[in-house]
Structure 1
Amino acid sequence: MSLDPDDPRPPYQQVAASLRAAILTRKFAPGDKLPSQMELGRHYGVARMTVQQALRILKDEGLIVSRQGSGVFARARTEKPIGLRPHIERAFEQPHVEIDFSGYTAETLHGIIAEPLDKIRSGRLTPQSIRIRMLLSDMNRPLSLPIRTDGDVEASGPVRQRMADISARHAGAIEATVEELCDLGLVPECSIETRLHGSSPLFKVYIVNKTDAFFGYYPVVKHDVRIGGKKQAIYDPMGKDAVLFQRTDDGDPDSTDSQFVTQTRQWFDSVWNTIATPKQP
C-alpha cells in the first residue's frame, strides 16, 4: 500500500493517519503488536525515518507504547480503565520481579498477585528474585480519611482501626506467601517490606519492574460500615472505583511516558526514604 501522491500532507503524517485509523477502528486492538519499522516502511513505501516520525506522533497522542526489545504496541486511550492484572502477571514471567505499591490497603495487589505466586509454588513460574515494597497510610494516626461523616477525627478511631485491620490482613498475607516461597527455595532471593506514612490515601500507584507506572485517584464516597455491630456513615476512599492510567518507560528520556515513570519512581523513593517508617510486627 503506497501513499496518495495527491495528498498534500507530508508522508509521515499520512502514515500516522493510516495507523491512527487502524488503531481507533480496532484493526490493531489494545495490546496488539504493530509491524516492525522495516515492515511498515515496505508496506507504505517510505523510508524508516518517515515511519519513526509517524510513530512519534502516535506515541505523543497516547495511541501506542514502545517497549525496549519487544516492539511497538497499540494501547487503549488514556481515558479508559487499564487492566492491571495482565501487566503484573507478565512481570512474574521475568527473571527479576519488582513491584512498588502505594495506596490505601494492599487488597487489590493481594488479589492480583495470588495467581502468579501459586504458579511459582507449582513450578510453572521460576523468577530468580522478587522485591515488593508497600507504602501504606498509617491508620493509627488521626487522618482526614477515612472519617465519620460528622467530621469528628478523634471519634473516627474505630473507623481507621477497621481499615488498619483490613490493610494488615492483606499486606501480611502477601508478606507471608512471598517469604514462604523463599524459605522453600522456590525463589532464590526475596525482599518484601511495608512502610507507613501519615498522609491520607487519595491515590494509588503501582510501579512494575521499574518500567511501567499505573496511577489512579481514589474517589471519596459516603457509605455505611459496621463498627462494633452498629452502622456508621463514613467518608471513604474507594479503591475499587479507581481508574488506572498507565505510562511505560520507552527508553527515550525525553518522552512524556519515560519522564512520568521516572518522576513516579523518584516520588515513591522520596517518601519511602524520609517520612515512611517500617511497619511494626
Structure 2
Amino acid sequence: MSDEELSYLGELDPDDSTGAAQQIARQLRAAILTGRLKPAEKLPSQPELAAHYGVARETVKRALDALRAERLIVSRQGSGVFVRAQTQRPVELRPHLEAAFEREEVTIDFAGFLGETLQGALAEVLDRVRAGQLAPKRIAIRVMVSDMGVPMALPARADTGADDPTVRERMERISHRSLDAIVDQVHELGDLGLVESATVAVRLHSASPLFKLYIINNSEVFFGFYPVTERTTAHKGEPLAIFDLLGKDVPLFNYQVSEEDTSHGTQFVAASKQWFDSVWDSVAREYQG
C-alpha cells in the first residue's frame, strides 16, 4: 500500500512511553472506531505496517493481537486481517474525540447528568493539545446538565422514592467540580495561546437526567441511557440507600451524518441537534459556578 492509502495512520511518537506496539494498536483502534477503517475492510499486511512504522513485524503482531483480543479484528487464513463486521453496538468515545480535535474547528455539545464523564473524556484529549500532538484552531463547547440544587425525581431515597436534598448535595458538589474543571481546562488553552479561540458555555435545567448525549462537530452523535440502580451511600456517618443513576461506563451508540439525507444516522444527528438547541434556548439557565 502507498503512503496515501495509509494516510489514516500517523507516525510513532518517540517521546511516548507506552511503546511502539501500544501506539500502533491505538492508531488502528481509532481508525476502526471512527469509521476510517470500515467493517469487513482488510487491514494492511504485517510487512506493510512494519515498513510504515519502521518497526519489526513482531511489534506489529503484538499490536494486532491486542485488537484481536478486543474483538475489533478477525484473521482469515490465507486472506489476511479484517475489521470485524459489526452491527450498531456500543463504542468508545475517546478515539472519536481525538479525531474531532484533528480538525481546525471543534464543536462539542453535551447533555447529561453531572458532566463528570465528559470532563474525564476531555482531559486526555486536551493534554494532547497542550503537548502539541493535536492542534485545533478553535474550540467551542456547550454543556447542559441537570441542576442538582433543585428537587429531582432522580436521584432519590430508596425507602420512599422521594427527592431528598441530602441525596443531591453530593451530586451537586461532583457536578460543580466537573463543570469548573472543564471550563478551566478549555480556557487555559486559549490563555496559553495554544488555540485561537476556546469557549465553554454551561447551562442547567430542572429535568431529571435519563440519558447522555454528545454532539461532535455537528456530524456525529453518541447517545446512551442512564440505568437506575439502588446503592448505599453514607450521610453523616450513617448508611443511606438511594436510587442513583449509573453514569460511568454507560454504553454509547454512535450515529453519523452520511451523504444520504434520509439515512438513519443523518436524521438522528439532526433530531439531536434540534432537541439540544430547543432545551438550551428555552428552559436551560446559565451556570453561575
**TM class, shorter-chain normalised?**
0.7 to 0.9
1:47-77 superposed Cα distances (whole Å, 9 cap, x missing partner): xxxxxxxxxxxxxxxxxxxxxxxxxx98732
1:259 is displaced (CA, Å) by: 0.5
Partner of 2:38: 33
Tell me, in whole angstroms, the C-alpha distance in 2 between the residues paired with 1:95 and 1:35: 30
**Alignment check: 8 A CA contact 1:98 1:209 kept:** yes
Is 1:146 the counterpart of 2:146 in the alignment? no
Tell me, in whole angstroms, the C-alpha distance in 1 between the residues paired with 2:166 and 2:197: 38
Tell me, in whole angstroms, the C-alpha distance in 1 between the residues paired with 2:280 and 2:206: 12
1:230 is displaced (CA, Å) by: 2.4
Aligned length: 216
Pairwise mapping of residues 258-277 of structure 1 onto structure 2 (< 5 A)?
A: 258-277=266-285
Counterpart of 2:38, as a letter, is: K
Is 1:240 the counterpart of 2:248 in the alignment? yes
Q: Which of 195, 220, 223 is the equivalent residue of 2:231?
A: 223
Partner of 1:89: 98
RMSD between superposed Cα atoms in Å: 2.1
CA separation of 1:131 and 1:119: change in aligned 2, threshold 3 A: same
Counterpart of 1:89, as a letter, is: E
Segments of 5+ residues of structure 1 without an aligned counterpart are 1-28, 37-72
**Alignment check: 8 A CA contact 1:138 1:198 kept:** yes
1:241 is displaced (CA, Å) by: 4.6
Tell me, in whole angstroms, the C-alpha distance in 1 between the residues paired with 2:107 and 2:231: 35
**Alignment check: 8 A CA contact 1:34 1:74 kept:** yes
1:34 is displaced (CA, Å) by: 7.0
**Alignment check: 8 A CA contact 2:102 2:136 kept:** yes
CA separation of 1:132 and 1:149: change in aligned 2, threshold 3 A: same
* Runs (4+) off by over 4 Å: none
Partner of 1:131: 140
Partner of 2:87: 77
Is 1:161 the counterpart of 2:169 in the alignment? yes
Tell me, in whole angstroms, the C-alpha distance in 2 between the residues paired with 1:203 and 1:131: 22
Tell me, in whole angstroms, the C-alpha distance in 1 between the residues paired with 2:85 and 2:159: 43
* TM-score calculated relative to the size of structure 1: 0.72
**Alignment check: 8 A CA contact 1:100 1:207 kept:** yes
Tell me, in whole angstroms, the C-alpha distance in 1 between the residues paired with 2:124 and 2:148: 28
Percent identity between the two aligned chains: 44
Counterpart of 1:213, as a letter, is: V
Partner of 2:120: 111
* TM-score calculated relative to the size of structure 2: 0.70
Segments of 5+ residues of structure 2 without an aligned counterpart are 1-31, 42-82
Partner of 2:131: 122
1:253 aligned counterpart, secondary structure? coil
Tell me, in whole angstroms, the C-alpha distance in 1 between the residues paired with 2:86 and 2:104: 27
Structure with higher Rg: it is: 1
2:248 aligned counterpart, secondary structure? helix
Counterpart of 1:88, as a letter, is: L
Counterpart of 1:145, as a letter, is: L
Counterpart of 2:256, as a letter, is: T
2:103 aligned counterpart, secondary structure? coil
Tell me, in whole angstroms, the C-alpha distance in 2 between the residues paired with 1:242 and 1:252: 29
